[in-house]
Amino acid sequence: MNRNALLALVAASLPAGADAMESDLLHCLQGHFVISDVEVDVVEEAVDVTFGVANNLSYPVGGAHVMITVTHADRPTPIASWGSQALLTIPGGLLPGESMTTETYMYIEPRVQAMIEDPGQLSVLVEVESIANGDLISVRNGLWVSSWTEGPSGDGCP
């Protein structure tokens, strides 16, 4: 069997709308695992980001994978972007209705730091990419995090 035929066979075996279902699940998780009070500063060669999270899901969250993108008003591309490790494992989990504050940072080279005369010109986007339930099983398919069991967990999103 040639490669194209094999790819067509694999694609045909996927359930119709699987991408749409994953997209809907991600959008729902982002709406129920809420990011708030985002603050950014530049401290000793690092972009430091502090933010709150609230678990508005119906089950405990044992970990979250978030992407952080920092932009500067005068730059056409982000000055920093990283997947934060701050929430990959949440000690004791975050029960439904609970919230917490976390902090994460990324080293920036001196050239980039020199661009930032006014940290007030920085903007930050913190986006939830996936979460793990209280047993550290990924709720979503396809995002591999070493401390989690591969999903989907079946917990879904209300």
pLDDT value of residue 12: 39
Give me the residues of the chain with pLDDT under 70, please. 1-18
For residue range 35-44, what is the model confidence (pLDDT) as tens digits? 999 999 888 8
For residue range 10-50, what is the model confidence (pLDDT) as tens digits? 333 444 455 777 788 899 999 999 999 999 988 888 999 99
Backbone phi and psi for residue 136, each to the nearest 5 degrees, phi listed first: 60, 40
